[in-house]
Amino acid sequence: YESVLDAIGRTPIVKLGNISKGLKATIWAKLEFMNPGGSIKDRIAKYMIEKAEREGRIKPGDTILENSSGNTAMGLAIVCRQKGYKLKIVIRNTTSKEKIKMLEVLGVDVVKVDASLPPEHPESYNQYAINLAKKDPSLYYIDQHNNLDNNESHYMTTGPEIWEQMEGKIDYLIAAFGTGGTLCGAGRFLKEKNPNIKLIGLDPVGSVFYDWFKNKKMITPARYLVEGMGDELLIGTAQLDMLDDMKQVEDKKAF
Ligand SMILES: Cc1ncc(COP(=O)(O)O)c(C=O)c1O
C-alpha cells in the first residue's frame, strides 16, 4: 500500500469453530482489531475526514475535535497525522492509561474530563467538546455520535465486506452498540440485500439504549467499565428503530 490509510478495512472474517460447537448457530467474527489503529473506528475516522474534505468543510492544517472512548481517537490520530490535521480529543479520565499514552505519543492534544460528572454538566464528557466547538469556531467538531457519515462509512465498507465474505449466508448481525454506526450502517446494507437478516445490538448495563429500545423508558445512567459501548444520552447515530433486538452485557461477563 502507498499509505497506512489504504490498509484500513477489508479485515478477515473467521469462523469461531470451538465457540459454535454444540450451538444451533455458527458464529463468525470480523477481525476489526486488524485495522492499523487496532479497531473498527479507523473506518469512520477515514470516511468522516475524507467526506468533510470532499465537501470543503476542512482542509489540511485545520484542527479536528472529537470526544472518544479511545478507539475513534486512535483512528483519527492516524488519519490526521497522514493528512496533516491537528487533533484535539476529549476523553474520560477512566479510559485506559495505555490508550491515552498512545494518543499523546501520536501528538494528539488529549483533554481528560471527570467521568463521574452527569451528562448535562458543561464539563462532562458529553458537553465539553460541544461547548469548546461553540467557543472556538476554528475547531471542526467531527461528532461521531451525531454525524451520519459514521453510519454511512459502515454502509459503504463494513456491510458490503460482510455480505461478500459470507456469500450472503447471514441470519444475524450482532455488534457492540456504541454510537450504533456499525450496526445501523452495516445493518442497513445487509437488510437491503436480505430483509430477513436480523440486527442485534449489545448494550452495557447502565447505558440508556436498552430501556429506551425495549420500553421507550429513559433510565438514569449508571457507570460501567466496558469501553466503547453504550451512552448516557440518546444520540443521532443510534438509529434504534432499525434494530430487531438488544441484549444487555454486564461488566463481569465482558471482562
Ligand atoms: C472497539 C470498538 N468496537 C465497537 C464500538 C462500537 O461501535 P459503534 O460506535 O459503531 O456502535 C466501539 C465504539 O467506541 C469500539 O471502540
- Torsions phi, psi for 147 (to 5 deg): -85, 110
**Is the model's pLDDT at 208 over the cut of 90?**
yes
What ranges in the chain are assigned the alpha helix state H?
17-20, 41-54, 71-83, 97-105, 125-135, 148-153, 159-165, 181-193, 209-215, 251-254
**Residue 26 forms part of a structural domain:** no
Answer yes or no: do 160 and 250 share one domain: yes
**88, 112, 141 - which closes a domain:** 141
**Residue 11 forms part of a structural domain:** no
**Is the model's pLDDT at 17 over the cut of 90?**
yes
pLDDT at 70: 86
- For the stretch 148-194, pLDDT in tens is 999 999 999 999 999 999 999 999 999 999 999 999 999 999 999 99
Dihedral sign for Cα atoms in the order 11, 12, 15, 19: negative
Answer yes or no: do 133 and 154 share one domain: no
pLDDT at 212: 98
Number of domains in the chain: 2
Answer yes or no: do 175 and 95 share one domain: no
Q: Whose CA is nearest to atom 6 of ligand 1?
A: 178
Answer yes or no: do 224 and 247 share one domain: yes
**141, 158, 184 - which closes a domain:** 141
- Name the one residue in this structure whose C-alpha cell is 466547538: 133
Domain holding 201, by residue range, is 148-254
CA distance readout (Å), 188 to 29, 104, 184, 198, 202:
19, 36, 6, 10, 17
230 close to 223: Cβ distance less than 8 angstroms: no
Answer yes or no: do 212 and 193 share one domain: yes
pLDDT at 119: 84
Q: Which among 145, 147, 122 has a CA at the least distance from the CA of 135?
A: 122
Answer yes or no: do 247 and 203 share one domain: yes
**Residue 212 forms part of a structural domain:** yes
- For the stretch 26-84, pLDDT in tens is 999 999 999 999 999 999 999 999 999 999 999 999 999 999 978 999 999 999 999 99
- Looking at the chain, the whole-number percentage of residues with pLDDT higher than 90 is 91
Sheet containing 172-176: give its strands across. Answer: 172-176, 198-204, 245-249
Cα–Cα distance, 245 to 172 (Å, whole number): 10
**Ligand 1 centroid, distance to 201 Cα (angstroms):** 11
**141, 169, 184 - which closes a domain:** 141
Whether 41 is a known active-site residue: answer yes
Interior/surface letters 238-251, b for 16+ CB within 10 angstroms, e for the rest? bbbebbeebebbee
Answer yes or no: do 128 and 155 share one domain: no
Q: Find the catalytic residue in 15, 24, 41, 86.
A: 41
**Residue 15 forms part of a structural domain:** no
Answer yes or no: do 137 and 152 share one domain: no
**Ligand 1 centroid, distance to 217 Cα (angstroms):** 23
pLDDT at 96: 87
Answer yes or no: do 179 and 196 share one domain: yes
Q: Provide the pLDDT confidence category of residue 126 given band limits of 50, 70 and 90.
A: confident
CATH of residue 90: 3.40.50.1100
Cα–Cα distance, 201 to 183 (Å, whole number): 7
Lowest-pLDDT choice from 11-15, 125-129, 150-154: 125-129
The best mutation among 71, 103, 143, 153 to test binding of ligand 1, ranked by most ligand atoms within 8 Å of the C-beta, falls on 71
Answer yes or no: do 129 and 167 share one domain: no
**Residue 91 forms part of a structural domain:** yes
Answer yes or no: do 124 and 157 share one domain: no
Kindly state the cell numbers that stand for 52: 468533510
Beta bridge partners of 174: 200
**Residue 247 forms part of a structural domain:** yes
- For the stretch 211-223, pLDDT in tens is 999 999 999 999 8
Answer yes or no: do 155 and 127 share one domain: no
pLDDT at 227: 86
**Residue 160 forms part of a structural domain:** yes
**Residue 101 forms part of a structural domain:** yes
**Ligand 1 centroid, distance to 126 Cα (angstroms):** 16
